Amino acid sequence: MKLTFCCTDTRAEPWLAGFRTALPEADIAVWQAGAPVADYGVVWAPPQAFIDEQAGIKALFNIGAGVDALLPLRLPEGLRIVRLDDAGMAVQMAEYVCHAVVRHFREFDAYDAAQREARWAYRKPRRREAFTVGIMGLGVLGSRVAQALRGFDFPVNGWSRSPKALDGVQTFHGTGEGLNAFLAASQVLVNLLPLTPETRDILDRDTLGRLPAGGYVINVARGAHLVDEDLLALLDSGHLAGATLDVFRTEPLPADHPFWRHPAITVTPHTSARTLRDESIAQIARKIRALQRGEAIAGVVDRARGY
């Protein structure tokens, strides 16, 4: 069995070594132009030339959860694309989002500022029951985040494309009334949607303007979900209280971008849920073995839906 590895911005050697251990029967190499067609590909943001040359491949395994860098390429009809599902990312995402929500809810930034002035500045507790967290996207990551936030007794709402039932979570779906009611109740809005033509620019002046006054935004999905100027305008008008942003339209975030220095924005460098090499290799190897046996696998992307 032949595996080809084509992952932009990724050091190949440790991945190749991991696959050689997990799939000793496989012959794995970094893709080079002109290489023969492999059985399976391991990819991240591959060039169009890779797709064109490997058109007969059985499946492409994307070493991330989001396939937005892959789907815009010219892909052969019926090519199977498999994304990572969880592979150690869900717990990281839960940690990151809970940290951001708790930091905002408990006003830890204000305590930091007080400490810098040696001020013993007690703050009145906020009402948890009035602090609803709304999660856009209730998939592998969103549902884990919802469960973790419920562990702190925050009221949690969720919004998805199709109807969903999640223990202890009030769910909404679809555009129109479902989205309206969801936004109006979200004191904190967490974005965990895939980037698709339907969700691009979804966090704009209109949707963010429908959050309650004093709303807070956490974007951990993709930068192109958020219209930067609209967020800045709503922060500066006082309608929104702040934002924690892990993903950006241009990454790395340019040094002169206003997000870096805005007092109400926390920036992190696309690190909320990192691809973990060992877990990812184990998951992909398991799935390759299942495909070899002719079994169905989870995480196959529905190209018409875009995720």
Active-site annotation, residues: 222, 270
CB of residue 83 to ligand OXD, shortest distance in Å: 8
Site string for ligand NDP, 196-225 (x = CB under 6 A): x-xx--------------------xxx---
Q: Which is nearer to ligand NDP, 23 or 247 (CB)?
A: 247
Q: Which is nearer to ligand NDP, 104 or 144 (CB)?
A: 144
Q: Does 223 bind ligand OXD (CB under 6 A)?
A: no
Task: Kindly identify the residues of this chain, within the stretch 255-284, that bind ligand NDP according to CB under 6 A.
Answer: 270, 272-273
Residue from the set 183, 246, 253, 284 that interacts with ligand NDP by CB under 6 A: 246
193 binds ligand NDP (CB under 6 A): yes
* By CB under 6 A, residue 275 contacts ligand OXD: yes
Give CA–CA dist 196/110, Å, rounded: 37
Instruction: Tell me: cis bond preceding 252? Omega within 30 of 0 counts.
Output: yes
Closest separation in Å from C-beta 238 to ligand NDP: 28
Q: 214-232 b/e with 16+ CB inside 10 Å = b? A: ebbbbbbbbbbbbbbebbb
Interface size with ligand OXD, residues (CB under 6 A) = 4
CA distance linking residue 49 with residue 35, whole number of Å = 11
Kindly state the number of chain residues that form the binding site for ligand NDP, as judged by CB under 6 A.
30
In the chain the first and final C-alpha atoms are separated, in Å, by 27
Residue 169 makes contact with ligand NDP by CB under 6 A: no
* Between 82 and 211, CB nearer to ligand OXD: 82
DSSP secondary structure code for residue 153 in this structure: T
Cβ distance to ligand NDP smaller for residue 132 or 219: 219
Paired tokens of 216: 């807070």
Beta strand extents in the chain (DSSP E only)? 2-7, 27-30, 40-44, 59-62, 80-82, 133-136, 156-160, 169-173, 188-191, 215-219, 240-245, 265-267
> What is the closest distance, in whole angstroms, from the C-beta atom of residue 144 to ligand NDP in the complex?
8
Alpha carbon distance 242, 231 (integer Å): 9
Q: How far apart are CA 205 and CA 232, in angstroms?
A: 10
Of 270, 275, 262, nearest to 96 by C-alpha is 270
Cα–Cα distance measured from residue 89 to residue 31, given in angstroms and rounded to the nearest whole number? 26
CB of 87 to ligand OXD, least distance (A): 9
Of 4 and 283, the one with the shorter C-beta distance to ligand NDP is 283
At 136 the three-state DSSP class reads: strand
Interaction between residue 160 and ligand NDP (CB under 6 A): yes
Cβ(279)–Cβ(65) below 8 Å: no
Closest residue to ligand NDP in the complex (CB): 139
What is the footprint of ligand NDP within residues 78-137 (CB under 6 A)? Answer: 89, 137
Q: Decide if 170 contacts 158 (C-beta within 8 A).
A: yes
Q: Is 190 in the site for ligand NDP (CB under 6 A)?
A: no
Contact positions with ligand OXD (CB under 6 A) in 52-111: 64-66
Q: Which residues bind ligand NDP (CB under 6 A)?
A: 65-66, 89, 137-142, 159-162, 164, 192-196, 198-199, 220-222, 246-247, 270, 272-273, 307
Q: Which residues bind ligand OXD (CB under 6 A)?
A: 64-66, 275
